[in-house]
Structure 1
Amino acid sequence: MSRLLRVELRRLWARKVTRWACAAVLVLVALSTLVAYSTARPPSAREVADAQAAFASEQAMWEEEGEQWVADCEADAEAQDMTPQEWGCDQMAPSLENYLPPTQTFVPDAEQSEMMLGTGEGVPDADAGAAAIEEIRASVWNQWGGLGSLDDLAMLLVVLALVVGVSFVTAEINSGSLGMWLTFEPRRRRVYWSKAAAAAIGTVPLVLVGFAVLVGGAYAAYASFGTLGDVTGATWAEVAAFTGRLVVAGAVLAAVGVALGVLLKHAAAAVGVVGVVAWVCLAFGYASGELQRWLPTTALTAWLQGGSVFTIQNCAPAADGTYECAPVDHVVTTAQGGLTLLGLAAVVTLVAIVVFRRRDVS
């Protein structure tokens, strides 16, 4: 088995699609670094001066008419049967920060973190404590910042791993080389596992190095402008944990790619099926209610981000005969997401093994 694995690893890295995937990672890093440079730049002196002038003008108007504005706001709040605070009457005073262009940091500062924690849509359900939800939302991957923006790019890396796994098998099936290879090694189960293991192991450098360079490029961009924020040892520990989970996810999806390649025989069909499943989950997942917990996209997000929160509407009949609905937050933990992802991968792999042992590969 070890010799088979070494042979398959050499084949994997000799394929053009693997080299194109490496080139795609380099392009992704370049574009990400350019975007980071554009978002890391603090306001220029001209922008600060313009903001101060606009703030001074608004402040003068506030001093003259502010009391009347607040009174009108409170009257509107009373008409809507809401408190002035709920209507925002206590936030009407002009602030200089509202006129300055938004400044993004590599890691969100304490004020930005508090703002993010205050954006929850609903109350936690009985099994999901408020502390658990706040901890998930406080993660740098769920907040507005340079490091958090790398989350979506990390998803592209695992998609590349899946594409490499798919192409690794479909190219050999369509060219006939897989049938030729089975004349030298007729034990199909060993052949399948060697290819799945090669795809999983061989894509680790692609994902690991790719994400490391992404983080390094973003860090350099923000460091050049002095907008890193509060970067601590805990931050790098969270980055390291995310990277480890990302590598595992990439390896699992590469093995899933091999399974889909065996089942569908064509790379376009396999990638298309993955795209359709992802689109259905994202477009109609909210309508599935608590079944969102078991969706592949939810599982992948929870595994990568150290947990995920989804919201459903809990509706109950009111005293007047109508229905009242309130948003309720549900938590998917890291372990739940990882086990769900692993279970789905195991099912697809077992089906692929059965098919591979019985079906003609020509």
Structure 2
Amino acid sequence: MMRLLRVELRRLWARRVTRWACVGILVLAALSTVVAYGTARPPSPQEVAAAEGAYAAELEVWEAEGAEQVADCEASAEAEGATPQEWGCTDMEPRLDWYLPPSQTFVADAGQDPAVFGSESVNTDDPATAAAVQEVRGSVWNGWAGLSSLDDLAMLLLMGALVVGVSFVTAEVNSGSLGMWLTFEPRRQRVYWSKATAAAIGTAPLVVAGFALLVASSYAAFASFGTLGDVTGAVWAEVAAFTGRLVLAGAALAAIGVALGVLFKHAAAAVGVVAVVAWASLAFGYAFGELQRWLPTTALTAWLQGGSVFTVENCTPAADGVFECVPVDHVVTTAQGGLLLLAATVVLTGAAMLVFRWRDVS
């Protein structure tokens, strides 16, 4: 088995698609660096001066009419049966940051406006769920920051691992080299496991190097402008944990790619199925309600980011008989996401092994 694995690893890295994946990672890192430099740039002195002028003018109006505006807001909130806090009556005084152009730091600032940057109020009556929702939304992978944008780019690295896994099998099936290889090693289960393991292990350097380049280039961009934010040891520990989970996810998707390559025999069909499933999960996921918990995109996000939050409309009749729908937050934990990803890998691998054992690959 080890001999087969070494052979398959050499063949994997000798393939053209693997080399193109390396080029794609370099291009992705370059593009992300350009974007990071654009978002890391702080406001210019002219923009700051204009913002200060607008803030000063608005502050004069507030000092003259602020008490009346707050009273009107509180009266409107009371008329609608809401509290002043829910209507924002306690946070109406102008602030300078309202007039500055949007800017980012490498690590999200704890003082960023929750209404703008995604830390909205929690919609659940369960204290444990509420705490979990706040923990997920308070992660460095959520919010408005350079670091939190890298998790979306990491998905492209995983797609690269999947494509490499798919093409590793389909190219040999369609060229006939797999059938010839089976004449030298007729034990199909060993051949399948060697290919799946080689894809899982062989794509790990691509994922690790790619994500390291993304983090390093983004960090350099923000550091050049002095807009890093509060980069602590805990932040780097979370980056390391994310990298570890990313490598495991890449290994799983590479193995899934091998399985799909065996099942569909054509790379376009295998990758197309994944693309359709991912698109349908993102486009129509909300309509699934509680079933969102079992969607592959939800599981993958939960595994990578240390948890994921999805919302379900809870519709109940009010006292007057009219149905009222309230969004309720739910959490998928890291363990749940990892188990779902593992289950998908095991099921597809098992199906592919059965097919590979009996299907004619010549």
Fold shared per TM-score above 0.5: yes
C-alpha separation in 2, matches of 1:330 and 1:84: 27
Q: Which amino acid aligns with 2:160?
A: L
Residues 1:88 and 1:110: Cα distance change in structure 2 (over 3 Å): closer
Q: Which amino acid aligns with 2:191?
A: V
Counterpart position of 1:290: 290
Counterpart position of 2:355: 355
Counterpart position of 1:157: 157
Moved over 4 A (4+): 113-118
Q: Summarize the alignment of residues 316-327 of structure 1 with structure 2, pairs less than 5 Å apart.
A: 316-327=316-327
Q: Which amino acid aligns with 1:102?
A: P
Matched, 1:343 2:343: yes
Counterpart position of 1:201: 201
C-alpha separation in 2, matches of 1:166 and 1:96: 52
Matched, 1:123 2:121: no
Q: Which amino acid aligns with 1:297?
A: T
Counterpart position of 1:267: 267
Counterpart position of 1:228: 228
Residues 1:204 and 1:299: Cα distance change in structure 2 (over 3 Å): same
Q: Which shifted more, 7-16 or 113-122?
A: 113-122
After superposition, what is the alpha-carbon deviation per residue over 1:279-324, rounded to whole angstroms, capped at 9, x for unaligned?
Answer: 1111121111211111111110111011111111222233322223
Residues 1:169 and 1:40: Cα distance change in structure 2 (over 3 Å): same
C-alpha separation in 2, matches of 1:51 and 1:186: 73
Residues 1:55 and 1:114: Cα distance change in structure 2 (over 3 Å): closer
Q: Summarize the alignment of residues 1-362 of structure 1 with structure 2, pairs less than 5 Å apart.
A: 1-112=1-112, 118-123=119-124, 125=126, 128-362=128-362
TM-score by length of 2: 0.95
Unaligned runs of 5+ in 1: none
C-alpha separation in 2, matches of 1:269 and 1:181: 24
> Does the residue aligned with 1:111 lie in a helix, a strand or coil?
coil
Say whether the 8 Å CA contact 2:119–2:137 is kept in structure 1.
no
TM-score by length of 1: 0.95
Say whether the 8 Å CA contact 1:117–1:138 is kept in structure 2.
no
RMSD: 1.8
Say whether the 8 Å CA contact 2:73–2:84 is kept in structure 1.
yes
Identity %: 73
Question: How far apart are 1:133 and its partner, in Å?
Answer: 1.9
C-alpha separation in 2, matches of 1:81 and 1:133: 26
Say whether the 8 Å CA contact 1:125–1:330 is kept in structure 2.
no
Q: Which amino acid aligns with 1:157?
A: L
Question: How far apart are 1:118 and its partner, in Å?
Answer: 4.2
Q: Which shifted more, 78-87 or 22-31?
A: 78-87
Question: How far apart are 1:142 and its partner, in Å?
Answer: 1.5
Q: Which shifted more, 262-271 or 288-297?
A: 288-297
Unaligned runs of 5+ in 2: none
